[in-house]
A and B are shown apart, each in its own frame.
Chain A
């Protein structure tokens, strides 16, 4: 693995499958009475969150603590854009505190990339979501969930599997990272949404696209619903929330057209009644709660492989 995890594109197929395998081993830890390993004892992981995201922060915190790392949570509310301390000065502060890894969530696309490549810090940088760019650990936990359900937890298990990612692809870092990682793992990805929410140039992403959710659903092995953020509802991307739900929401009627084995995913937090109805979210097909559990295992694997060292480690 590279020294940083900034984009799902940083992972080769070997890297990604190593993460999944490591996560599988670490996940079994959750069933033991003592959930802690000494792997990262004495190492410091900083959670640097410029945006509120309690779920992701807690997930990383639990992951680091189960590996016995020291964890510092740094909630830098507001970025340099809104006159807070600059990203650089925050980074220098963390460096002075001796961080071994910085897990960063930031509203600006590319902020983790800047942190890793500007010479401000020496630590490993893990992207925990940057702007409308990427969220690679979310993609890894989604892949892990798919791998458990559809891939028999073996290498190559996602080869040829079909995944639909539905909704606001334009603004979704989850969609970008998932499209990249699932392709790396051999899966076939279809991005579905209204034309206004699919980015210009998406033809070059080497994925299928569709405006027609009903046509896609019967063909896929998994369907991943993206959250529609409130500000998009005002942004003129679609006429009304109701029209969006009618055309791109997953409800009981649409769920009935899925194949028997097809699972339903959502990165959370859900807007129930908008992109997904309650009966779908709470159905047997839904693996949404399991995604959260898997998130801790996958983030443990990432921190372990970045900091604890893997056989294929090659520092830049």
Chain B
């Protein structure tokens, strides 16, 4: 890391507004205005760039401990920084599972040591993600990692009584249960979106109702016990409708959509290339449309990446044998620009809300997701929306290469990321 302690960012457009200068000093935004100067500050020419609050991901798989062949906290947070993120929530499905204070503190400490972005561990809801018995949620909440988000992601907390208890229990420390909504019986052996195409391809179907039924149930449970529910990776039009209805009733439900569900459709499964295999699966064009509309009107609160690194051999095989999941951190903002901004559905203030303010609020993260104002923590991403880049898997900062966007031209590039006033990315490169 560099020893310079202050940065003067010249002529940047905050949330796409009028050009201004930004002085970052001692970890905070020290000054905002035109024609700023500062002795000893390193000057960053940001002509044409947009300043966004550092992005916050509520759904990242960092794989450490246990699968360091796929990703480590260090490589995953490097990828995060390259994507403009200053905070990520690390999912609990590691080996061992992050279901104790010890494991979440380990992940939290690894994040601090890596230094590329802040790592907020997600705690497992149930011991070993087995869905049988609550993990020590209170111990994780009280640990140095201060866990507020609990999820068995990868598995659904399908037992309704256990889900009810989890929702009730986390109220004691203002936690939230982030549900991976997938009825296990309705998705036994499921490989792709259930549709005419799954029938033709002979791949076992993952029906939309398996997601929607769980979301509907959990919304009702949340309302009944007065708790807070977050729905992970909403993927169907029906799910968007259910969440919209729950919000209309005033229930405390939030939801996320993943970049790949905003862009890609199940037609890609016809290649039988498992680079497109993900859970929940890619859905229809109509579902993509509904997710975009839901994200635009706020029904879907946030974009979360579900960044899921896998080693090459887990994708270089037949579809059924392959692992579920795809990379997401380095391409998320470009896909949001492509699907939401360039289409006129969202402005840059909206992007800041969906990728920074709202996820920080849901995760109860104090030092991230704040507007770029004097005195705010200097967590900032500088983004060039006019750039075009061709995605290359081999260029990823992640340890894994399983990006479904390889070869695609996507708009926008992160030029710099600042974490508490220090650059983690500068000139488009890791510092």
Contact = CB atoms under 8 A, between A and B. Distances in A.
Contacts of A199: 198-199, 205
Contacts of A114: 272-273, 317-319
Interface size on B, as a range, is 20 to 34
Contacts of A79: 318, 321
Contact of A201 (B197, B271, B316, B320): B197
Interface string A117-154: 11000000000001111100000000000000000000
Contacts of B250: none
A112 B205 CA distance: 20
Interface in B243-280: 271-273
Interface stretch (A17-25, A26-34, A37-45, A81-89): A81-89
A201 B201 CA distance: 12
B199 A202 contact: yes
A182 to B, nearest CB: 15
A81 B274 CA distance: 14
A280 interface: no
A66 interface: no
B207 A113 contact: no
A113 B205 CA distance: 19
B196 A201 contact: yes
Given A86-B313, A201-B195, A205-B196, A81 B321 contact: yes
B200 A108 contact: no
Interface in A56-99: 79-81, 86-88
Nearest to B203: A109
B202 interface: yes
Contact of B321 (A108, A117, A173): A108
B194 interface: yes
B202 A132 contact: yes
B318 A106 contact: yes
A79 B322 CA distance: 12
A132 to B, nearest CB: 4
A109 B197 CA distance: 13
Contacts of B319: 108-111, 114
Given A79-B321, A81-B321, A201-B195, A109 B202 contact: yes
A201 B272 contact: no
A191 to B, nearest CB: 11
Given A86-B313, A110-B272, A118-B316, A200 B199 contact: yes
A105 interface: no
Interface in B199-226: 199-205, 207
Nearest to B199: A199
A176 interface: yes
Contacts of A113: 271-272
B202 A201 contact: no
Contacts of B202: 109-110, 130-134, 173, 176
Contacts of A107: 320
A9 B373 CA distance: 60
Contacts of B317: 80, 86-88, 114
Contacts of A202: 196, 199
A133 B318 CA distance: 13
A200 B198 contact: yes
A204 interface: yes
5 contacts: A80-B318, A106-B318, A201-B196, A201-B198, A205-B196
Interface of A: 79-81, 86-88, 106-111, 113-114, 117-118, 130-134, 170, 173, 176, 199-205
Interface of B: 191, 194-205, 207, 271-273, 313, 316-321
